[in-house]
Amino acid sequence: MFQLRWIVTQQQDGMLVREFLKQQHISKTALTDIKFQGGRIEVNDVPVTVRYVLKAGDEVCVSFPPEQKGVHMVAEPIPLAVVYEDDYVIVINKPPHMSTIPSREHPHGTLANALLYHYEQQQLQTTVHVVTRLDRDTSGLVLVAKHRHVHHLLSEQQKQGRVKRRYEAVCHGYVTPLVGTIDAPIGRKGDSIIEREVRLDGQRAVTHYEVLQQKNEMTHVSIRLETGRTHQIRVHFSHIGHPLVGDDLYGGLREHIDRQALHSCELTFFHPFFEKTMTFHAPLPDDIARLL
């Protein structure tokens, strides 16, 4: 069972448990789950309600209810490239051709299936909470929370732009200028459930890039996202006439690589429990390295 503990400070003396837990960023949804799904709130090892009045020096312990995985989520013994792991988060270097979560087209062999097996080996009763999802054919770093509350905290960081990712990509042609920003709204294309396009009624999307090298009618770029729209990098570079190499959905050619040449190479976030900024790197995979 996932637990969190705090010591009540002098400034928090006289505060209701409800107010105290709100200060610790425990959501109303989490409190409802704790109350009705088998969790508990204790002060000095004694069960209390959210109306209990705290005193300085009290120890508050919140035990969250066990998490149940979805009926269609199956643990599968798939190797994982674990870059970092602690009690709260896990960072994975996802290979290309692996979906992040199961879908109708790809119900098995996903990162989620592999994570569930990994959790079972640790006797961890939880489900998969992906913070930074990647397309099936995009490789690189994925941040996953090990508990619903941790996911809530990291999702709040994402909304504030504090979870940062850098990508590297190879696109067709010679991109100019060498440093630039693509600011163009993105929305769903027609009736497609997959394809996106730049359109006036779309959501704001901003991509910053810097050219690393250019040769053989290709450009190697470093990319940072200001927003996180579906297929944002792929759509934006196709929009400016430089689709990613291998991205046949958006105009790229697959002569030299069998997927879009896109890799999440750097991930930075503020760890909500260790209270420090953490940065991780993943080198380019072999197929993109060969392309370069």
**Among residues 45, 86, 87, 135, which one is catalytic?**
135
Query: How many degrees, rounded to 5, is the angle at CA 226 between CA 223 and CA 227?
Result: 110
pLDDT of amino acid 125: 87
**H helix or E strand, kind and range, residue 4:** strand 3-7
Per-residue pLDDT of the chain (292 residues; tens, 9 = 90+): 799 999 999 999 999 999 999 999 998 889 998 989 889 999 999 999 999 999 999 999 999 998 888 777 899 999 999 999 999 999 999 999 999 998 888 889 999 999 999 999 999 989 999 999 999 999 999 999 999 999 999 999 998 989 999 999 999 999 999 999 999 999 999 889 899 999 999 999 999 999 999 999 999 999 999 998 999 999 999 999 999 999 999 999 999 999 999 999 999 999 999 999 999 999 999 999 999 9
pLDDT of amino acid 71: 74
Beta strands at 218-225 and 206-215: parallel, antiparallel or unpaired: antiparallel
pLDDT of amino acid 66: 87
Question: Is 45 a catalytic site residue?
Answer: no
Rounded CA-CA distance 143/205 in Å is 21
CB 98 within 8 A of CB 112: no
Indicate the residue type of 151: H
pLDDT of amino acid 51: 95
Tokens of 161: 């732009």
The number of residues making up the chain comes to 292
Domains of the chain, each with CATH number or no CATH = 1-61 (3.10.290.10), 164-262 (3.30.2350.10)
Rounded CA-CA distance 113/107 in Å is 9
pTM (whole model) above 0.85: yes
Strand partners, 210: 179, 222
8-16, long-range: CB within 8 Å, 24+ apart, which pairs? 8/54, 8/55, 8/56, 8/57, 8/58, 8/59, 8/60, 9/56, 10/56, 12/54, 12/56, 13/54, 13/55, 13/56, 14/53, 14/54, 14/55, 15/53, 15/54, 16/50, 16/51, 16/52, 16/53, 16/54
Task: Identify which of 59, 65, 55, 68 has the alpha carbon closest to the alpha carbon of residue 29.
Answer: 65
Q: Is 235 in a helix, a strand, or coil?
A: helix
